[in-house]
Amino acid sequence: MSIEVCNESGVDLDAALIVSVARYALAAMQVSPAAELCITAVTSEVMAELHERWMDEPGPTDVMAFPMDEIVEDTRRPDAPDIGPALLGDVVLCPEFARSQARTAGHTLADELHLLTVHGVLHLLGYDHGEPEQEREMFGLQDRLLAGWRAERRRTASREAQRRSDSAVLGAAGLEEG
């Protein structure tokens, strides 16, 4: 799975974590590993232009999603050649706009960008929140995906800390692995 992050926002972002949360969400949603995704962070001015052009709404917003190709494995003939990478679409984030949402929610800008990345990915996959039932479904899924990703990160950090601790103990005892 190819995920590219382009930061044109002027705000410092941890692109590796944005890729990580997007990759986790796509894998959890069983999206084809041939999928390609582009995540772009833009200024408020650029987001306002996109929001007005595509949604006919004034001013910037936090996230927009622009779906592209459908990845439909089940409808292909069995003798068809393997498909190449398919462009899932683009997620556009506005860190400036997201910063105030993060303050209101009582978490960091990074947390808000991770949430918005998952939100954008779900939009690319066809989820919406226009109706109350759709909103409950999409936001519930978004919360579960974020919780799963955070739990995986904690497990990975714990294993890494244990490995460093083991290496330090072994090194001190002259038993370094090698």
CATH number for position 90:
3.40.390.30
In a domain, 107, yes or no: yes
What pLDDT sits at residue 141? 97
Residue type, 29: M
In a domain, 100, yes or no: yes
In a domain, 166, yes or no: no
Tens-digit pLDDT profile for residues 2-45: 999 999 999 999 999 999 999 999 999 999 888 899 999 999 99
In a domain, 138, yes or no: no
Number of Cβ atoms within 10 Å of the Cβ of 132: 8
In a domain, 132, yes or no: no
Sign of CA dihedral 120, 136, 98, 111: negative
Range of the domain at 85: 2-127
What pLDDT sits at residue 170? 72
Average pLDDT per consecutive 10 residues, the chain (178 residues; last block may be shorter): 95 96 96 92 97 95 86 48 70 97 96 98 94 96 97 89 77 64
Q: To the nearest whole number, what is the mean pLDDT of the chain?
A: 88
- Per the structure, how many domains does the chain have? 1
In a domain, 178, yes or no: no
Spatial separation of the C-alpha atoms in residues 87 and 11, rounded to whole Å: 26
Q: Which pTM was predicted?
A: 0.83
In a domain, 141, yes or no: no
In a domain, 44, yes or no: yes
Sign of CA dihedral 173, 176, 177, 178: negative
